[in-house]
Structure 1
Amino acid sequence: MEATQEQASGDAPQTRPAMKLWRAVFESASRTTLLDEESVMRLRRIQMVGALGVLGHPLYFVIWSYVFPQPYENIWLRLICTALFVPLLFASALSHKRWLPAYALFAITVGMPFAFIFFYLENHGSLVWAESVIIAVVVLYHFSAAFATIALIAGAAGAFAMFVLAGHSMAGIPWASLLLQIPIIAFVIAVLVVIKLDRQLLMEQKRRGMAVALATVAHELRTPLTSLGMTATALRNRLPAALDAGAPQREALLQAVARLQADIAHVNSSIELLVANSKDPRSARQELFDIGSAVRESIERFPFEPEHQHIVTIETCEPMLVMGNAQLFALVITNLTKNALEAIRRAGKGDIRIRCEGTPTGIRVIFRDTATGMPPHVLAKMFQPFFSYPAHRGTGIGLAFCRDVLRSWNASISCRSVEHEFTEFELQFPRPKG
């Protein structure tokens, strides 16, 4: 049956290696579980470009040498470029290597702008290679503008230098074709930059639309959740009298009801966060509140699982007044606690320590967990809306919400972290006037 299918498809034996190559790329990408979503997408782009290079350089050597012969081809340059692209196929598996970003920039620079512009010069600015250079530019600007610009400039400089070192004079450069090509490439780059800006605007519209939708859903869910909470309370009150069969069974049912109550409280907390995120924090009522009491009450209300009941230590939180909204601040602490617990579960270790203290300029809260920590590239983006780490974990609005709430009170939040060791958030409040 397999042989018949291959014969019917005609070129199945030839396409099988390509299919295996693509399968390897996507299987490698699927193993990327501890990266933020943007990093996952960047790694996939690197893998896709790697696949294009590994397949494209040998294929187009054959096409431009034998099918549609061009004046100049170079098998050794093609082989070098192909070899450079091979590690990019496994970018996800190599994502923990610090040298990967620099290597990806080098390999893509050599394999695309350098090689394409060198072939363009050697082929006297032919139409085939003029269009190929434009395609290379389009591919490059699917990465960040800085990455693409560095690759393009470095690749072009290297190509011109190699062209001269190969024995050509400056007069051998196809200046007429090149000068005609430059404004076209500039226009292509401008269009690609505009498209990227448009995507950012769409993301902002998505954020606003999501906020409205989440507020609506949250409002509709409040009633049934309240009803479930009341049911759980009623069961807890009546079960002791109803269960006279034995202490073990009675205790198990009471624990199940307690767990039901904790789950409902956790869902309600998440809904409150979504509703608050859909509104302008500045519209919330502001008043003086005791920051130490707010921290303790938030931790006491948090629906900890039994194994996590004692991992939070509130070291020092003397009574200190700050201006803001106690309920919104409780959501900030809840969100930080939720994120820390998620990291502790992933790491299989860690605890949470919180302290409040006065400073010469104000009051600060230090929230520290000793779980997974975060790499530097995550720290740089963690307060961006819809940024989540690891990828596909949560909505990515929690820390952005925390930042917006604190800013509305002229307060701030910052973070420092050492990967595999700790993550520490510092919340800075100004001293209330008067």
Structure 2
Amino acid sequence: MNRIQKIYSYAEPNTTLVVVMGGLGYPVYFWVWDTLYPQPYENLWLRLLCSLLVFVLAFRGVMTNRLKKLVPYYYLVSIGFCLPFFFSFMMFMNGWNDVWILSFMSSIFLHILLVYDTRVMLLQALICVMCAAIIAHFNLPDGVNFSEHMVYLPIFAFTYLFGNLFYFRNQTEHEAKFTVARSFGAGIAHEMRNPLSALLSSFEVIKSIIPSGNSSYRNTYQLNAQEIQILNDIIDDSMKAIWTGNETIDLLLTSIDQNRVSTSTFCKLNAKSIVDNAVDSFSYKNAADKRLVFFDIKEDFSYFGSDTLLKYVVYNLLKNSFRHRGAGKFNIVISSKSTENGNSILFRDTGIGIEPELIKNIFDDFYTTGKNGTFGLGLSFCKKVMRSFGGSIVCRSSVGEWTEFELYFPNYSSSAVKAIKTELIKAKSVLFIGDDKSDVATELVKLQGITQMKSSL
């Protein structure tokens, strides 16, 4: 039932076109093949029956709810009768002549476009062609001659099979992208709930402090120092909530973006506290899962980037580890190490591991290992984020024993970070008021990325 419903849902936008083309095409082509270019066999009543079958679909919008539930089944039956049955029957009755061989080939392409499901379409084609062959066999004096025309069968089979596979592949990719877009839409809605709830709470507090418009002392009420401080704190928290919400939307859209991560909010941050907060705020399924994560970062370090983006990298790595935990003893250890060129955060779990031939693909967009509910964007998102920080992410694993992800951050004073800062400055506009011959103006001009600069004496 689900297959039939899905087939009809994909075909429904084209149903009106099917009604028009089928309702008019069958009787019109009777005149073409009977009078204009006469063929050995024609059947007006069969054509009128096909026109009637497709014409019924024109009234699908005004049917009762009970009949509407039957429309997908009726659609499948009518398409089977009007395409593979009709065209194969006419081909058999016309002695496999060139006109009807080509007509049957055309019906194959229409059948592929109008019936989405491969197995249903092939089964329907097989049943309809067999029925057409049996009926034609008893209507022809010498029966249907297959022996002399077997050469066409591999061509028909090839067209049906590979034509449907190519169409199915395109349709599947389109469906996958639609599903991903819908998933990220739901993700945005879910992630925005927290900052919006925080704003709602803040405004409720403000409302409780400030007198309403109907209050008798609304014109003389004065705020004390404590209330002013509370309001200032609320405003700061609200601004932070809005900032976090905007950044959350950016990072979710970044997961779909094929090329870049927005660096507009990048600044100097300390990694240890951010990772610690991410581990603590992660949505664990239960309290026992949280006890399986061991935080072992002893030395802090600075990096240039976004705290929200790094938190979501940690979320993705934790989610990935728990998804591949296996049945044995499991834990996750988060540690760090320092080198002359930078610092690294290591995520090591004792899960099922990753096969060597798969590691090279795990950071690709839409690559999954077959787990349900995943779209293959988590690790590719981590890779984009780490590259935007000037760093990288690598994976090492031993099948059945452990998996380790290393997040590498360049030193804050490194050339990679300086390059990011320079690119960030290029996206800014500066209004300089002063003498254009001053040292400040000269330094600004040296920054090649300044997009707009106005000087005034």
Larger Rg: 2
Bigger relative contact order (CA 8 A; separation at least 6): 1
TM-score normalised according to structure 1 size: 0.44
TM-score normalised according to structure 2 size: 0.42
Higher helix fraction: Structure 1 or Structure 2? 1
